[in-house]
């Protein structure tokens, strides 16, 4: 399987956990702990704040050789030259995004537990599919449940799959037995007192399976 998405901890920001004054330092802590992908997700910031924060995070990720993904905002992704874009299941036109993004950019989509939709997205040209929520989620408590059996099947798709939703350092090893490509974490990382130490624990789960 060819993949543009780096294998390992996929960290997603949340403005409630990471207000602007803590955003950069907290993300850097995650990167120091080994996070390989950062997704900037903020539904409440102003346009000016979004651009400023996204540019700062892009530069920070570059310093750590990590990938920087923008959530649900194609224009912002293009404007600040992020590494890629993530679209929710009902957020944005996949075909339009594929057309606008250059070949080296990453496009991911949320599939919840819908493997048929995932196949449809792969045919349209997406680079990874996200499945979840796997466990009860503090960030999205009403998100539809995705059983672990679905992750096992998702891991066999022709593009990388990412598990998300309520993942912690305690339950992550069990999730990784499905051979899923990556785990995406919000509260399980940025809601913890020591972000760097938590990121190191998450990242350690991937080291034995790395072949690169």
CATH 4.10.91.20 fits 8-209, yes or no: no
Q: What is the mean pLDDT of residues 85-113?
A: 93
Scan for tokens 């993004």, then name that residue. Answer: 101
Residue 89: the pLDDT is 82
196 in Cβ contact with 30 (< 8 Å): yes
Say yes or no to pLDDT of 209 above 90: no
pLDDT in tens, 123-132: 999 999 999 9
Cβ within 8 Å of residue 130, ≥6 positions away: 86, 108, 109, 110, 111, 161, 162, 163, 164, 184
> Mean pLDDT across the stretch 1-12?
89
Count of helix runs (H) and strand runs (E) in the chain: 9, 8
Contact (Cβ atoms closer than 8 angstroms) between residue 163 and residue 175:
yes
Could you tell me if 60 and 27 are in contact, meaning their C-beta atoms sit under 8 angstroms apart? yes
> How far, in Å, CA of 127 to CA of 109, rounded?
8
Structure confidence at residue 2 as a pLDDT band (50, 70, 90): low
pTM of the model: 0.95
User: Token pair for residue 30?
Assistant: 């995650």
What is the pLDDT, as a whole number, of residue 142? 84
Q: Where along the chain do its domains lie? A: 8-209
* Max intra-chain CA distance, the chain: 42
For 39-78, the pLDDT digits (tens) are: 999 999 999 999 999 999 999 999 999 999 999 999 999 9
pLDDT in tens, 149-180: 999 999 999 999 999 999 999 999 999 999 99
DSSP string covering 77-117, please?
HHHHT-SEEEE-TTSS-HHHHHHHS-TTSEEEEEEET-HHH
């Amino acid at each position: 399987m060819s993949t543009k998405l780096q294998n390992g901890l996929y960290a997603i920001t949340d403005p409630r956990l990471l207000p602007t004054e803590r955003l950069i330092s907290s993300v850097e802590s995650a990167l120091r702990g080994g996070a390989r992908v950062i997704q900037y997700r903020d539904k409440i910031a102003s346009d000016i704040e979004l651009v400023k924060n996204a540019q700062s995070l892009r530069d920070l990720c570059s310093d750590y050789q990590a990938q920087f993904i923008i959530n649900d905002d194609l224009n912002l992704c293009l404007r600040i030259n992020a590494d890629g874009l993530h679209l929710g299941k009902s957020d944005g036109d996949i075909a339009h995004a594929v057309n606008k993004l250059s070949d080296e950019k990453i496009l991911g989509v949320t599939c919840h537990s819908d493997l048929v939709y995932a196949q449809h997205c792969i045919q349209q040209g997406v680079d990874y599919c996200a499945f979840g929520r796997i466990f009860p989620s503090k960030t999205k408590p009403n998100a539809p449940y995705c059983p672990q059996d679905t992750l096992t099947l998702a891991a066999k798709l022709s593009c990388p799959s990412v598990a998300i939703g309520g993942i912690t350092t305690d339950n992550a090893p069990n999730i990784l037995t499905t051979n899923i490509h990556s785990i995406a974490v919000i509260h399980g990382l940025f809601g913890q007192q020591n972000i760097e130490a938590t990121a190191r624990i998450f990242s350690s789960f991937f080291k034995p399976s790395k072949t690169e």
